Amino acid sequence: MKWFEYQMEVDQLKAPEDLKARLLAMEPKPDQSPKGKETKKARAIPFPHWKRWAAAAAACVAVAFVGSQVLQTGGLAVGGAGAASSAALASVPQTASLYAAQDNSLEAGAATRSAAGSSSTSVAGDKILYTASLTLETRDYDAARSGLEQALADAGGWMESSSESSDSGESRTLSLTLRVPEENYQSFLTAAGQTGSLVNRSEYADDVTASYTDVEGRIANLEGQRDRLRELQAGAETLSDLLDIEAQLSDVQYQLESWQSQLDWYDDQIASCTVTVTLREVDFPAGSGFVSRLASAFGQGWDNFVGGLAAIAVVLAGLWPVVVLVILAIAVVAAVRRRRR
């Protein structure tokens, strides 16, 4: 309803003026205004904190119980709750005792292994091959060589091989392969390094304990076979049996000698270490100042220039047909350009 229609109906209404005024102003009477009642919100049911904590604890206990059942049986046990709980409680001390027994057995095994390892190391010992390499430089070549020979004699070693070379008769180089007892190995390296200017020192250690033990086992096995074949040889009744046993015995003896030679080589390499020494003679010029080095650089530059020209001349001499053809082609092109001009 529009406002003017509403006002017309109010004007036509037979009512007191004050009522019309209230209707027009859309104001209800004070005595007829509806008394609003406050809507009461629903209060939450109080839930004490201790009950919440109790519920959470109960849930945790239930989860722990289910987890223990799954770990012990691989799945949930089908049965009453009381029986399951009693079975779980009964299994707890057994599991604890089992873990304790396992821990004790592990500790005992570790102690046994450590004791066995220490005893085997102390009794058998490791089989290690030691080798070293020294590179020395010296201005007094003869004195350094004499010092190396004296150090080798003091260490009780010997020279296995020697090689000496000379570079255009100016500088000499000595290569030595020396054998030194294992107990004097480090002292010899120290003494040899002091005979000249030490350029490089390298040391190597190769543990051959496993290979050495394997060779020993093979030798022991072959010796047992040899002894058994000898017994059979002594009791052979026919000639064919005797010949067969002798063939097997010779084969076993051959293998035994081969493995024994390898074991002897191991013993020799372990008892004496191998040291390779390279001694180089160096010569420093008397005038090593700035002027002499500058003059030497100029001289070297001129020598390089002359050498480069000589190399180019040699290359051109080897390619003279190509050079002639190129010169002729250039002359023809130049003549054609002159005619066009």
pLDDT-derived band at 135, boundaries 50, 70, 90: very high
Taking only the tens place, the pLDDT of each residue in 314-324 is 887 888 888 78
Whether residue 45 is predicted with pLDDT greater than 60 in this model: the reply is no
C-alpha to C-alpha distances, 54 to 65, 67, 149, 291, nearest whole angstrom: 17, 20, 91, 98
In the prediction, which pLDDT does 340 show? Answer: 85
Contact by Cβ (8 Å): 167, 175: no
At 267 the pLDDT is 93
Quote the CA–CA distance of 339 and 341 in Å, as a whole number. 5
Write the CB contacts of 202 (distance below 8 Å, at least 6 apart in sequence): 132, 133
How many angstroms separate the CA atoms of 222 and 26, rounded? 128
Nearest to 285 by CA among 277, 297, 268: 297
CA atoms of 335 and 298, how far apart (whole Å): 44
pLDDT at 322: 82
- The answer to whether residues 127 and 210 touch, using CB atoms and an 8 Å cutoff, is no
The least confident of 141-150, 184-193, 203-212, 292-301 is: 292-301
pLDDT digits (tens, 9 = 90+) for 229-284: 999 888 888 888 889 989 999 999 999 999 999 999 999 999 999 999 999 998 75
Does residue 80 carry a pLDDT above 50?
A: no
DSSP string, 255-307: HHHHHHHHHHHHHHHHHEEEEEEEEEE----S--SHHHHHHHHHHHHHHHHHH
**CB crowding 132-161: b at 16 or more within 10 Å, else e:** bebbbbbeebeebbebbeebbeebebeeee
Instruction: Kindly compute the dihedral angle of the four CA atoms of residues 185, 190, 191, 192, in this order, to the nearest 10 degrees.
Output: 80
Position 302 pLDDT exceeds 50: yes
Paired sense of beta strands 272-281 and 197-207, if any: unpaired
Q: What is the pLDDT of residue 339?
A: 86
CA distances (Å), origin 271, targets 127, 151, 182, 236, 268: 10, 19, 6, 44, 5
**pLDDT(44) > 80:** no
Mean pLDDT calculated for residue range 130-157: 92
Quick one: pLDDT at residue 274?
Answer: 94
For 291-302, what is the mean pLDDT? 78
Which has the higher per-residue pLDDT, 249 or 74?
249
Residue 309 in this model has a pLDDT that exceeds 70: yes
In the predicted structure, residue 75 carries a pLDDT above the cut 70: no
Q: What is the pLDDT of residue 179?
A: 94
Q: Is the pLDDT of residue 100 over 70?
A: no
Amino acid at 268: D
- Please check the confidence at residue 305 and state whether its pLDDT lies above 60: yes
Instruction: Output the DSSP codes for 83-146.
Output: HHHHHHHHHHHHHHHHHHHHHHHHHHHHHHHHHHHHHHHHHT---EEEEEEEEEEES-HHHHHH
State the pLDDT at residue 7.
56
6-30: average pLDDT: 58
Q: Give percent above pLDDT 90 in the chain.
A: 35
Range in 60-64, 134-138, 177-181 the model is least confident about: 60-64
User: Tell me, what's the pLDDT at 64?
Assistant: 62
Average pLDDT, the chain: 74
The mean per-residue pLDDT over the stretch 114-142 comes to: 71
For the ranges 70-79, 96-105, 260-269, which has the lowest average pLDDT? 96-105
What pLDDT does residue 307 have?
87
Q: 316 Cβ partners below 8 Å, 6+ apart?
A: 323
- Identify the residue whose tokens are 């095994």: 109
